[in-house]
Structure 1
């Protein structure tokens, strides 16, 4: 078993030190911007972990290439959204995918900058947000700077996760890779949960504001109204739904 582990560690170091790692990383990060099944984040954190534990590849080159690929992928997703919309193909109309697009559309209307930056850390979320931005005509002049900041911060974050894992288990490159990928997945789930929680809190705030306006507009001395107006407003409706 020890001989097998040694052989795997040698293979990991040899592969990480090859020149083709960088163009491969760029392609993965680019395609992942509009095709989320590709594990670009896992590759970035794994390479960072190996860079710390073995000295190859070059950490800063990994960050640069990953950031450039992420930026390119996000802008390609925007262009795809502008060209085809979000309902042309059958897979786009599946309940879960359609819900992601609806979530992205609501978020872009009210907190575009925050959504574009934070969605970069969620594989399906970033595709939904960036394609929806293109499909709904979100300003490209505003969109591009946000993707620059999102791509750089995402690459630095992924490298930091890999660096942390690589320092913990510097004597075993395979364990460093596995640990770094696991940490990245857990943090991604946490970001996804926090974004959903923020959305629920925002909808709850909207409902409270709606109730307060209905109470303020109610004639003095009248009893509570049936609340049909409140029931007719979807929980995810925007401020335009207020009476």
Structure 2
């Protein structure tokens, strides 16, 4: 009986010690997560400001004017991601444990930065360039590839609206340019072996963006509004989207 009592006492002490350790770890993790979420909230706030700036492009405001205001927010985000990197140095090797706490905000930021780049340059902002703009170091705190891809899918959602508004403002060559870009982007995504997850669903949505732009483009062609010299096919949509 004495031995049993001793074993019970040891077991109770062992459990208490173990759960005491759990308590400490959970408190540390919770405190760290609170810090991360506070910065993520600031990133979200910055993306909202940037989005409001980019909305002006749909009102046919000059791109340099829109870009100047939007780029100021990229610098703000760069500082915030620097703060996130400092916080994560407190828990080396656990990037993906906390990644979900800033993932959505990052995808939104990428979509806007990529859209701004497209407005300025007419091409795709590649993964390494996004890292550079946000001051991310791929060896310590890099940009997750899926976050980048999802952000690019979000960016494509802005293009049909942009095309419609540009045509309304009299830019009849815009649909051709956007159609060429989206066609290439969609084809590039098809290289990837995407699983049936959120990224796959967002990619599937891209074909609808492409279809909407095609419809605007061919409407412009049919009405004879396309610039002379536009050699793009004129027999209606022919892309097969799968």
Query: TM-score, normalised to structure 2's length?
Result: 0.28
Query: Greater CA radius of gyration, 1 or 2?
Result: 2
Query: TM-score, normalised to structure 1's length?
Result: 0.28
